[in-house]
Structure 1
Amino acid sequence: MAEPLGPESRPVVGILGGMGPEATVDLMRRVIAATPAQDDADHIRMLVDNNPAVPSRIAALIEGTGPSPLPELVRMARGLAAGGATMLAMPCNTAHYYAGGIVEAVPLPFLNMIALTVERVAAMVPAGTQVGLLASTAVFKIGLYEQAFADHGLPILAPERQDEVMALIRAVKTGDTGAARRGALAAIAERLVQGGAGIILVACTELSIMADAIAGTVPVLDAMDVLAEEIVVQAKGR
């Protein structure tokens, strides 16, 4: 029987968090739920920088009024690396706009939620399927998913009222995830299906917190689940 790995030999996941704080905790919860474990020692070590002071991605990318979050993200990544992280993950879709800068500055494997999610969707549906995308306005503006899906022949279908999606994202940031908000998210997803979406992709970690409210006749995939599952694969080898 193989000896268990000592603390110095085990993979350590460094999480660049705080965008928002509840989404960070949600990722940790999903990693724990996805980890096959019989005891505490079977779980994955996570170092978390839950930093709500990361400059606003919306202000930087949509409004053009705020500073780039990249310097702070690099500082966080370096701190996690110094603390013993052997890989990095970031539970914020929009912040992946800066993934290249993080990777360039910190020589650790970066589990790219965008790339992982696009590959998963492409394996689930045939080319030509419209992907109903629930995401922040910044994600649409910078084309974070658009080109990657286009490379697989998968067009994106956006909600008709993106302002309604942003209202839900802002509500979650205030802690409002009640029945009214959950119902509104389900209704937006249903309109995407009625508009021709063959799969719904939840690509905002605030919306991930309410994603279980979405039900319908097409598959629903949450990018946060994809990231959590990949963390388990990388850290546990399964």
Structure 2
Amino acid sequence: MKNFFAILGGMGTLATTNFLVELNKRHTPTKDQEFFNYMLFNHAEIPDRTSYILDHSAPSPLPALLADIEQLNVLKPDFIVMPCNTAHYFINDLVNATSIPIINMIKETVATIPPNTTKKIGLAVTQGTLESQLYERELLFNGYEVILPDTTLQHKINELVYTYIKEQSIINLLLYEEILEEFQQMGSDVTLLGCTELSLANNQDSLKKFPVIDAEKILLERTYQLAQQLKMKV
């Protein structure tokens, strides 16, 4: 197979599946041969990213991620996407382990925010992404005011991501909308969904009552653009 990209996923599997389904919806071919060429690594056994970030005595995801990169170095995709925000804690290690371009989900997301229209951004992320300040640093560097969740709100985010989606495969839309409403009450102009499980909830939310920046959809759009360029080489 030539002119293909790789999806480094499985963190978690439902979120990766949502990314793939949405990518294929974004692309509207008329026959099998017009779909994109890609390889999916759904590495479900990668240790939990948040657990390690909060406690370095927990199993590290990095060895498994580096092993995946080593395999991809042999297969030689044109680029790699990793639809997991929290895993970007290790992005520098992964970039240094390959010459294959890895699309940086954090930077792509912040770069797409319209300047001068949105200033106060609520940050809905996993506990690990919150503690590592992956989005907070990038947003502050680009001149945005960041509205961080308090302990109670972060507990609700953790509950939606882990208790409902990861553990039970349940999309609790009432809790999802409650989270967005609380960010709005805290003064945010828009809420950044910096967790692919939250993107999954957003995908299921038909009401769309609250404005969001969906990091997974931004990564998806960038993937689509690059994949289209590859398709033109075929």
Per the normalisation by structure 2, the TM-score is 0.90
Partner of 2:224: 232
1:40 and 2:32 matched = yes
SS state at 1:64 partner: coil
Partner of 2:174: 183
Partner of 1:193: 184
Q: Where do 1:21-60 residues align within 5 Å?
A: 21-60=13-52
* One-letter amino acid of the counterpart of residue 173, structure 2: R
Q: Is the 8 A contact 2:85 2:105 kept in 1?
A: yes
Q: Is the 8 A contact 1:49 1:80 kept in 2?
A: no
- CA distance in structure 1 between the aligned counterparts of 2:174 and 2:115, rounded to whole angstroms: 26
Partner of 2:89: 97
* One-letter amino acid of the counterpart of residue 169, structure 2: D
* One-letter amino acid of the counterpart of residue 176, structure 2: L
Partner of 2:9: 17
Gaps of 5+ in 2: none
Per the normalisation by structure 1, the TM-score is 0.88
Residue correspondences, number: 225
Partner of 1:165: 157
SS state at 2:174 partner: helix
* One-letter amino acid of the counterpart of residue 210, structure 1: A
| Deviations, residues 67-101 of structure 1 (Å, cap 9, x unaligned) | 32112111112212323421111111000010111
SS state at 2:129 partner: helix
| RMSD across aligned positions (CA) | 1.8
Partner of 1:215: 208
1:68 and 2:60 matched = yes
SS state at 1:232 partner: helix
1:134 and 2:138 matched = no
- CA distance in structure 1 between the aligned counterparts of 2:194 and 2:134, rounded to whole angstroms: 10
1:107 and 2:99 matched = yes
- CA distance in structure 2 between the aligned counterparts of 1:177 and 1:222, rounded to whole angstroms: 19
Q: Is the 8 A contact 1:159 1:188 kept in 2?
A: no
Identity %: 28
| Deviations, residues 23-42 of structure 1 (Å, cap 9, x unaligned) | 11111111111124222222
Q: Is the 8 A contact 1:127 1:154 kept in 2?
A: no
Q: Is the 8 A contact 1:135 1:165 kept in 2?
A: yes
Q: Is the 8 A contact 2:147 2:183 kept in 1?
A: yes
- CA distance in structure 1 between the aligned counterparts of 2:89 and 2:135, rounded to whole angstroms: 10
- CA distance in structure 1 between the aligned counterparts of 2:93 and 2:15, rounded to whole angstroms: 22
- CA distance in structure 2 between the aligned counterparts of 1:175 and 1:81, rounded to whole angstroms: 35
* One-letter amino acid of the counterpart of residue 67, structure 1: P
Q: 1:148 to 1:119 in 2, by over 3 A?
A: same
* One-letter amino acid of the counterpart of residue 190, structure 1: E
SS state at 2:191 partner: strand
1:118 and 2:110 matched = yes
| Deviations, residues 174-206 of structure 1 (Å, cap 9, x unaligned) | 23324xx11111111011112111111111011
Shift of residue 65 of structure 1?
2.7
